[in-house]
Amino acid sequence: MKPIRIIDVVKAVKAIDYSSPNRFAEITRVVFDSREAGIDSLFVPLKGETDGHDYIQSAIKNGATAALWSRPESEAPDDIAIILVDDTLTALQDLAKYYLNEIKPKVVAITGSNGKTTTKDMTAAVLNAKFNVHKTKGNYNNEIGLPFTILEMPEETEILVLEMGMSGPGEISFLSQLATPDVAAITIIGESHLEHLGSRRNIAKAKLEILEGLKADGLFIYPIDEPLIREEMPIDGDYHKRTFGIDHTATVYAYGVQSGKNSTSFKVSLDDREILEIPIIGEYNVQNALVALTIADYFGLSMLEVKAYLEHFELTENRSQWMDGVNGSQILNDAYNASPTSMTAVLEAYAALPREGRKFVLLGDIRELGEKSSELHASLSASVKPEDFDEVYLYGEEIAPLYQALEGSFPADRLHHFKGEKAPLIEALREKITHTDQILIKSSFGTDLLSVVKALKE
Ligand code: ATP
Ligand code: MG
């Protein structure tokens, strides 16, 4: 980060008061964790399960230069610059806004029910072909992670690529107004967080809040195949629009998609010569790539320029990743999260892969679906066909309706349902899986099939 003088921090966060041994001191780093504090850092104590204020002494010991403070002034230590504020999180966000305005990069904001992290990583990768890019690390996509990402941005950053996540209405609006993007994209509308939002229409509305901070004359990118976006999009917006999809009516579309075990290739309407490739499976990832390529095109990059960058983009862990499993098998690990949309997308992608040995699937409970949980789990049966998969394992309580739905269509001896303790499931799989077999593992994070992935890993 470009150094900021403490007196500028004081102004940016509209501090109530401050005490500083040296008002011209500068900070070059913002930390939440006192153990990471060091010379020139600003310690931001946040209230979560613990209260960061309790760790101020540790931050001082580690050399922090300054700290935000929202407890009574009388409780503040006097051997560090203290910046007194009403609320440390709001102050962090205000500081991020100030810093963004100091650096003035072009800002790209990505939201959607699925594929945000993947699309963000692809977008940053292709823009790297020509620009200094800074992006959200991992999944730092909320009201804390986003300002933190902004404050980590190096001075020379030309384009900032931000992931924006949410679990309820109002959150994307806030993030978008903080970051005021030049480009805003929605990857897909799914059913994640249905429990909090009630309907897919409400989810679409919540994602569309990304337009609330979009700069006048900015670009909005959205999937062609989602009528809810078209229906709910404000008509008076002063921005440009581009759609993407496999459908040829999209502004930017993909065709000639070829699925391989480790990569997917396709052509894009932006350039009829280049065959592009992503190091990851699934048509759904081609959709994610289309967002990245539309953004690259907007910034003046050609497909030839970005091709090699897309091929080698760095995937965040546990997203549709192959790993070596027990008995010489191969695990397709997608156990990081799940929604009905993403599960359908991944099941279809996995079914489309060329066969090596037998294909197994292990699907676990999808959480946070609210009252539609049974119906949505059962609806997955359309993507679980006996000709595509040899053995189907289901795990958990909420997924039981899928078991019932499959009982009619899927041979009983190849269909298994486990609940409770994971040990018997792991045991059964270890016994059944042999050399050349493949297994797709997917569930919500909370269902913890990652522990099964771990147990089946070589
Ligand atoms: P989170 O809400 O946890 O931040 P995310 O939106 O960032 O998730 P990713 O981490 O990119 O999403 O991908 C998570 C999973 O979602 C992938 O492993 C895959 O199963 C699925 N997925 C990714 N992209 C799409 C897509 N375009 N359509 C449907 N499913 C997708
Ligand atoms: Mg993410």
Q: What is the average per-residue pLDDT within 223-241?
A: 93
Q: Which CATH number characterizes residue 328's domain?
A: 3.90.190.20
Residues 407 and 358 grouped into a single domain = yes
- What would the pLDDT profile of 301-310 be if each residue is shown by its tens digit? 999 999 999 9
- Any domain includes 285: yes
Residue with CA closest to ligand 1 atom 23: 115
For residue 317, what pLDDT band results from cuts at 50, 70 and 90? confident
Least confident of 316-330, 363-377, 411-425: 316-330
Amino acid identity, residue 137?
A: K
**Domain end marker among 86, 113, 145:** 86
Atom of ligand 1 nearest to the CA of 112: 6
Output the pTM of the full model.
0.93
| Lowest-pLDDT range of 148-152, 196-200, 422-426 | 196-200
pLDDT at 356: 84
Closest-lying ligand to the alpha carbon of 342? 1
Whole-number Å distance between alpha carbons of 204 and 231: 9
The pLDDT confidence band at residue 148, using thresholds 50, 70 and 90, is very high
What is the pLDDT at residue 138? 87
Q: Which ligand is nearest to the CA of 288?
A: 1
Query: What is the distance in A from the centroid of ligand 2 to the CA of 87?
Result: 27
* Mean pLDDT, the chain, integer: 95
Question: Among the three residues 259, 279, 311, which one is the final residue of a domain in this structure?
Answer: 311
Q: Coil, strand, or helix at residue 31?
A: strand
Give the ligand at the shortest distance from the Cα of 341. Answer: 1
For residues 273-296, average pLDDT: 96
Distance 259 CA to ligand 2 centre (A): 24
Same domain? 171 vs 64: no
Question: Is the same domain home to 329 and 302?
Answer: no
Q: Are 178 and 286 in the same domain?
A: yes
97 in any annotated domain: no
HSE toward the beta carbon, residue 270, CA cutoff 13 A: 26
If you search the block for the tokens 């497909």, which residue do you land on? 303
Is the model's pLDDT at 66 over the cut of 90?
A: yes
- Name the residue with the closest Cα to ligand 1, atom 28: 284
CA distance 45 to 315: 31
Residue 408's pLDDT band, with cuts at 50, 70 and 90, is: confident
**Which residue do the tokens 């991020």 mark?**
96
Kindly state whether residue 66 falls inside one of the protein's structural domains: yes
In a shared domain, residues 78 and 121:
no
Among the bound ligands, name the one nearest to the CA of residue 317: 1
Q: Residues 6 or more apart from 356 whose CB is under 8 A from it? A: 261, 330, 436, 438
Interval 168-189: pLDDT, tens: 999 999 999 999 999 999 999 9
Mutate to test the pocket of ligand 1, among 118, 139, 290 (most ligand atoms within 8 A of CB): 118
CATH number at residue 29: 3.40.1390.10
Surrounding residues of ion ligand 2, Cβ less than 5 A: 116-117, 139
Same domain? 157 vs 59:
no
Q: At what angle do helices 200-208 and 171-179 cross, to 10 degrees?
A: 20
Residue 91 falls within a domain, yes or no? no
Instruction: Give the distance (Å) from ligand 2 centre to CA of residue 145.
Output: 11
- Same domain (yes/no): 41, 148: no
How confident is the model at residue 232, as a pLDDT?
96
CA of 100 to the centre of ligand 2 (A): 22
* Residue 55 pLDDT: 96
User: Alpha helices of 167-282 — where are they, by DSSP H?
Assistant: 171-179, 194-197, 200-208, 227-232
Q: How far is the CA of 342 from the centre of ligand 1 (A)?
A: 7
> Is 100 a domain residue?
no
The pLDDT-based confidence of 18 (bands split at 50, 70, 90) is confident
Amino acid code (one letter) for 451: S
The residue to mutate among 337, 361, 449, having the most atoms of ligand 1 within 8 angstroms of its beta carbon, is 337
**DSSP E strands, 246-369:** 252-259, 264-268, 271-278, 321-324, 330-334, 359-364
Identify the CATH number of the domain in which residue 155 sits: 3.40.1190.10
What integer pLDDT is reported at residue 144 of this predicted model?
96
| Confidence check: pLDDT of 320 > 80 | yes
Asked whether residue 15 is domain-assigned, the answer is yes
Nearest atom, ligand 1, residue 319 CA:
18
Q: How much distance in Å is there from the Cα of 349 to the middle of ligand 1? A: 13
Same domain for 126 and 270: yes
Q: For the segment 431-455, what is each residue's pLDDT rounded down to a tens digit? A: 999 999 999 999 999 999 999 999 9
Residues 328 and 294 in one domain: no
Average pLDDT over residues 19-33: 86
pLDDT at 253: 98
Q: Cα of 18 to ligand 2 centre, how many Å?
A: 37
- Distance (angstroms) between ligand 2 centre and the Cα of 147 equals 16
List, for residues 93-121, the tens digit of each pLDDT value. Answer: 999 999 999 999 999 999 999 999 999 99
Answer yes or no: is pLDDT of 254 > 90: yes
Q: Which atom of ligand 1 is nearest to the CA of 187?
A: 27
Q: Write the pLDDT tens digit of every residue in 344-369.
A: 999 999 999 988 889 999 999 999 89
Share of residues in the chain with pLDDT > 70 (%): 100
Q: What is the ipTM of this complex?
A: 0.99
> Which ligand has its closest atom nearest to the C-alpha of 281?
1
For residue 343, the ligand 1 atom closest to its alpha carbon is 20
Domain assignment present for residue 99? The answer is no
Q: What is the pLDDT of residue 450?
A: 95
| Domain coverage including residue 29 | 4-86
262 shares its domain with 341 = no
Where helices occur in 156-282 by DSSP H, the ranges are 171-179, 194-197, 200-208, 227-232
Q: Are both 248 and 375 inside the same structural domain?
A: no
Mean pLDDT of 312-336: 89
Task: Count up the domains in the chain and report the number.
Answer: 3
3-state secondary structure of 456: helix
Residue that finishes a domain, picked among 256, 287, 311: 311
Pocket of ligand 1 (CB under 6 A): 112, 114-118, 139, 141, 165, 187-188, 284, 287-288, 319-320, 334, 336-337, 341-342, 345-346
pLDDT surpasses 90 at 211: yes
How many Cβ atoms are within 10 Å of 253's Cβ, its own excluded? Answer: 19
Residues 116 and 262 in one domain: yes
pLDDT for the residue numbered 203? 95
Higher-confidence position of 148 and 336? 148
Q: What is the DSSP letter of 390?
A: S
In a domain, 94, yes or no: no
Confidence tier at 315 by pLDDT (50, 70, 90): confident
**Residue from 254, 261, 256, 426 nearest 356 by CA:** 261
By the 10 Å C-beta count (0-12 exposed, 13-18 middle, 19+ buried), 130 is classed as: middle
Q: Which two tokens stand for residue 125?
A: 């990768």
Ligand 1, residues 186, 257, 342, 453: which to mutate, most atoms within 8 A of Cβ?
342
Residue numbers in the known binding site are 112-118
